[in-house]
Amino acid sequence: MCAYLCALGVTLKYMQMMRFETQDNIDREDRAIKKFCEIFKGSSRKMGPNDIDFKVYDRDGNIVAYAEVKGRHRPMASAFPLPVGASKVVKLCEKNSTPVIIWACDDGIIYGKPMEIEGRAVWGGRKPRKGSVNDQRLMIYYKEQENLTHIPYED
């Protein structure tokens, strides 16, 4: 049992070291989920580090969705194609509530439900970083389409 707990502790420490999320990324994600929840006067709760990003509640506290927020460091007008890791989409869709992907752009959010939008799956991602294990992976890229909603930030 002690060996198991020691191995688990080392694994968790290793996983924490491999996260590349900056405070800017966290702030961008927070702003996007707040904007999304504003639409229906709901709220959200951050999920664990190895889960999808948020559990989303309506104004009465009922779970209405699970959301994955992806940073998109550009304006909405030039954000396409919208990328997301295929494994994130699968994990999101396995939840027992409505799945939503939110792309946090510089000037607003773009969001859609995976089962209502069409994407193209290809091997890709970003230029590999030292210590990262998932910069290159199966990705889904979404072109502009009718079932993607654009909501600008008002400030």
Domains of the chain: 22-118+144-152 (3.40.1350)
pTM of the predicted model as reported, rounded to 2 decimal places? 0.84
| pLDDT for residue 74 is more than 70 | yes
Which of 127 and 99 is assigned the larger pLDDT? Answer: 99
For 57-68, write each residue's pLDDT tens digit: 999 999 999 999
| pLDDT for residue 44 is more than 70 | yes
- 């993607």: which residue's tokens? 148
CB 84 within 8 A of CB 101: yes
pLDDT range class, residue 17, cuts 50, 70, 90: very low
